[in-house]
Structure 1
Amino acid sequence: MLVNARKYVPPNFTILPGFSVQFRDKTYEVERVLQVRPISVVLVVHGPSEPIRRIIKIYPKINQIGFFRRGFQKECRAYRILRAADCKHVPYYYGCTSSLTVLYPPNSRVPADDRLNGEQNAIMLEYFDGELFLPQNATEEAAAKALIYLQEIHSLSICHGDIYYYEARIDTPRTLMLLTNGDVRWIDFEHSSTNASSEDLKDEMAVVADLIGPTGILWKLKQGLPDYERLGIVPPDSQNEYLQTDQTTDSDDSRTNDGP
């Protein structure tokens, strides 16, 4: 089923006994929903006769061309290259499908509008025990590994494309996982590009180094209140005002350029 992107609301998955998905003719039981976003729904699953957990990332089919479809294609392409190179710094890629189906039990109370009906795009990945790499759990050793691993990913001409921090944070990349054993993994390649230019790779590495490198913003923040002006950062309390001013300027420029 194709969904109109303008009206699309991420489904409100309700976990019930028997809730499962079918990936390449094999049925997997859903343990929990990790994340629900307009571009993807991330599930922790396991086979009915195997205890091994895996990740299934579903890309709800949207009735439009553009980013929502390209994200699935880009992530598949990047993971294929990484798997062929036996890269250990990302989740292992088990494959993709364009015909995943969500199996709702007969007693499911999930409203029809919140169901993913029909065949869906999806990928299957290795599951890790861990959490996002954040200031409260960051270590210098893990940060150093992250930089080395990203450099090795870049050696395959893959630019991750989504290494920036969250809107309200200015410290760590949002697509980096810290595992329980202290190692790290780069995740979420839906913004990636293959055959990336050396300039793009250099710029991306510079951004990550500025965040978590030996003299990066992360460590300055952990030491105490940062000097935002010296670091060249807009303070979180001022970001909304900054964005509003920036948007107004863009709007004014647009009207000027479009005028007679």
Structure 2
Amino acid sequence: MNTPLPNGMHVLLIDDDAGIRDLISDYLNDNDIRVTSLASGRGIGDVLFRECIDLVILERKLPGEDGMHIVLKLREASSIPIFILTGLKEEADRVMGLELGADDYLTKPFSPRELLARIRALMRRTRRHESIASELSRIRSYRFSGWEVSVRLRSATLPSGDRVDLTNAEFNLLAAFLASPQRLLTRDQLLTKSRLRNDEVYDRSIDVQVARLRKKLAFDTSIIHTERGTGYMLNVPVDIAY
């Protein structure tokens, strides 16, 4: 069964290929999704200022500005879902986009039907994340084993007293663990809760993110325990300050 999309959903599409813009716009319009399209990144700020945009679809390579740089700027300014279109098949390139803050990607050539299905899945995950975000808005900090994680500052204070600033991806992953302490979370659950791409091809991106989080916060494997072949668990009790 298709997941209902938000009423009056509005997508911003940025692609320098007029044929791709027309193909996507026509198909999404036929499925009751409004589309504003741009040939480059230059008008993004004006559109976001004037319109209420629910999702950005962005070509990886644009004339005059790299799509990855646009992803980074968008993610620094907002949590709007970002979908990358790319003709590049290299895994490292796709992983970079996801780590910079994109939520999903599709490699050209693609079918409009698959794009719509992925949009539905992304908006479903976004709605789940908004519920988590609503819960986080009531929490000031998490405390465990000498660490303190500030929700407002999106940072962690180590037992040594040193503060560590976290990227969005790092904080979202840590928040997923903190919301379910001493509970085994599968890679798929962590992908969904942390808003990384929910696709078996990228299950192993969680392994990379966990390794980076452990290193940045000086966690040993007794803090984030690995259940081989299944997932991970934050293996300590957590206190919440409201």
Both proteins in one fold, TM over 0.5 = no
**Which structure's residues are more often helix, by fraction?**
2
TM-score, with structure 2 as normaliser: 0.29
Q: Which structure has the higher relative contact order (CA within 8 Å, separation 6+)?
A: 1
Larger radius of gyration: 1
TM-score normalized by the length of structure 1:
0.28
